């Protein structure tokens, strides 16, 4: 059997200019009436709200994404056809709106996307470079989908990705946990929301 010790899980040191990226924290994932409802979504929303406050207190960027399709979903291509539930995001819908406990402030950018990654087909990369961001703390929905894709793309665009485990959620805990483990092995640091304030103040990973 292969011994994987040492093959994965190196450390990515946070940079000096972090931002918080909240990926699709919309009502579709936290209200039972919608087909994408996540049982653990509301708890993740609470952690995201706390994190947004911590970043704002330090005058650090808070960045948002949402999902929105044109009529017929043609701008979503094969992805829109593969996931029929995405129909709830056609137009400016209730499902795609932000819950009242987690609302963007007026100066905070919101990027609407049609695919899993927050980077694909959006101006996010340009915005981050224009504002000198080097590290992305990431929360949102869902862990195995848009959070994972966004963390991977953050790495590939030259940013240090830090996924916040309890500020994300998925359809079940096994899926949530396995994706966090894989992200932590190869693409991202994984921390808890309670660890983030000290990291922002110290610029170091927990335990360093």
Q: Where in the sequence numbering do the catalytic residues fall?
A: 146
Give the DSSP per-residue string, 63-114.
EEEEE-B-TTSGGGHHHHHH-GGGGGGBSS-STTSPPTTS---TTS-EEEES
If one counts every other C-beta atom within 10 angstroms of the C-beta of residue 133, the result is 22
**Token pair belonging to 138:** 């990431």
- What is the rounded CA–CA span in Å between residue 101 and residue 120? 27
Are 151 and 30 a contacting pair, CB within 8 Å?
no
Q: How many CB atoms lie within 10 A of CB 28?
A: 26
For residues 192 and 166, what is the distance between their CA atoms, to the nearest angstrom?
6
Structure tokens at 75: 């701008």
Q: Which of 117, 180, 162 is nearest to 12 (CA)?
A: 162
Q: Are strands 18-23 and 62-67 parallel, antiparallel or unpaired?
A: parallel
Q: What is the enclosing helix (H) or strand (E) of 152? A: helix 148-156
């Amino acid at each position: 059997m292969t011994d994987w010790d040492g093959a994965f899980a190196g450390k990515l040191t946070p940079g000096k200019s972090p931002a918080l990226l909240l990926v699709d924290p919309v009502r579709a994932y936290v209200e039972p009436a919608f087909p994408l409802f996540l049982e653990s979504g509301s708890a993740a929303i609470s952690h995201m709200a706390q994190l947004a406050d911590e970043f704002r207190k330090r005058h650090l960027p808070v960045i948002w994404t949402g999902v929105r399709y044109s009529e017929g979903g043609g701008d979503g291509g094969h992805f829109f056809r593969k996931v029929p539930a995405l129909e709830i995001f056609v137009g400016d819908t209730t499902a795609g709106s932000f819950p009242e406990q987690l609302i963007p402030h007026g100066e905070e950018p919101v990027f609407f996307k049609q695919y899993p990654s927050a980077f694909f087909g959006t101006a996010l990369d340009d915005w981050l470079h224009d504002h000198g961001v080097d590290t992305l703390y990431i929360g949102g929905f869902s862990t195995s989908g848009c959070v994972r894709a966004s963390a991977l793309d953050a790495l590939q665009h030259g940013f240090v990705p830090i996924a916040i485990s309890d500020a994300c959620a998925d359809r079940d805990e096994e899926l949530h946990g396995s994706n966090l483990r894989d992200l932590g092995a190869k693409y991202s640091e994984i921390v808890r929301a309670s660890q983030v304030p000290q990291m922002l103040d110290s610029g170091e990973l927990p335990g360093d």
